[in-house]
Amino acid sequence: MTQVDVNVFRPDDFDDFWDSTLKRVAKVPLRPSFEYVTERSTDDVAVFDVHYDSWDGVRISGWYAVPREAGPHPALMLVPGYISEPVIPRSWARKGYAAFAVAPRGKLRSNQRFNPGYPGLLVDNIADPNTYAYRGFYVDAVRAVDAVLTRPEVDADRVGVHGSSQGGALTITTAALLPDVVTCGAAGAPYLCGFMDSAKLTHSYPYEEINEYLRDHPDHEQRVAETVGYYDGINFAPNIQAPMLVYIGLEDDVCPPETGFAVHEAMKCEKELLTYERCGHDAGNHWAMEKVEAFLAGHLGVAR
């Protein structure tokens, strides 16, 4: 299992596409709001219901949990999996982070204007890179960083990103799109890497959505490959400057391990890869999380 098993089309204008995307969204006022939520807060953690504006003016939601003790605190961006809703990150706040769990567009609390459904998101407008669903979705994670950095108790020099599966993908894309901001990233079982090969390697969802789409549109394979080239984590990986921890299961039926090797190989930053035999999409979580927590704490200056 090496990167040679994974072939990804990289458009010539990949960097320009994302530069122009970020420039365009920068013109959208962020309009962040942080509303304190009494019933979800505890003696040691304050919880806020967060909203901000993103790509195409879509209002995005998130949960922000922060220690009640005085800051500055490092920010930890928690990016969600494909079918999961963001969990209020109280447990991370208890560890000392200003923790932000973002719900990109299409998630329940961010789907008033954009709701392709699940299954559905992966192939929504996949025939056109300019309107593909993940364009706004990736930007929503970037804008979440902008939102958390408006908080006075957050130390802007310490920003971590962490997630697994789609959260692993968003860890990679966010670190690549904000190379001067993100301090470190921990990506489990990264999804959205090697889309086309993945759909051939597995029949598990979400990649099975691509196989289903191609059953309906058998002549679209080339168009789909061109679109997802703009969104592939393997193409983002070389732009990352922050240290990265990647962990994968060697029998992951959801995000093929070949693609985990490939995205790690494509990173030019300081990096580490953890692999777990007989593990699937859990990505060795039982053993990996202790290392993830140590990695984040070490780079973000949190006592353990």
Give contact residues for other proteins (rule: CB under 8 A): 38-40, 42, 83-85, 87-88, 90-91, 108, 117-119, 200-206, 208, 212-213, 215-216, 249, 251-253, 276-283, 285-287
Nearer to other proteins among residue 39 and residue 219 (C-beta): 39
189 Rama sector, left if φ>0, alpha if ψ -120 to 50, beta otherwise = left
How many CA within 13 A on the CB side of residue 259? 32
Residue for token pair 């990679």: 172
**Nearer Cβ to other proteins (93/240):** 93
Instruction: State how far the Cα of 261 lies from the Cα of 193, in Å rounded to an integer.
Output: 10
Is the Cβ of residue 230 or residue 276 nearer to other proteins in the bound state? 276
Q: CB of 195: closest distance to other proteins in angstroms?
A: 14
Q: Using the minimum distance from each CB to other proteins, give the nearer residue, 96 or 243.
A: 96
What would the two tokens of residue 223 be?
A: 């168009």
- CB-nearer residue toward other proteins: 23 or 278: 278
Q: How far is the CB of 74 from other proteins (least distance, A)?
A: 21
User: Which residue from 194, 164, 192 is spatially nearest to 258, judged by alpha carbons?
Assistant: 194
Closest CB 6 distance from other proteins, rounded Å: 14
Which residues are catalytic, by number? Answer: 165, 252, 281
Buried b (16+ CB within 10 A) or exposed e, 9-20: beeeebeebbee
Shortest Å, Cβ 208 to other proteins: 7
Q: Phi first, then psi: what are they for 80, rounded to 5°?
A: -90, 160
In the complex, the smallest distance separating the C-beta of residue 302 from other proteins, rounded to whole angstroms, is 18
284 Cβ contact partners less than 8 Å away, ≥ 6 residues apart: 247, 248, 249, 274, 275, 276
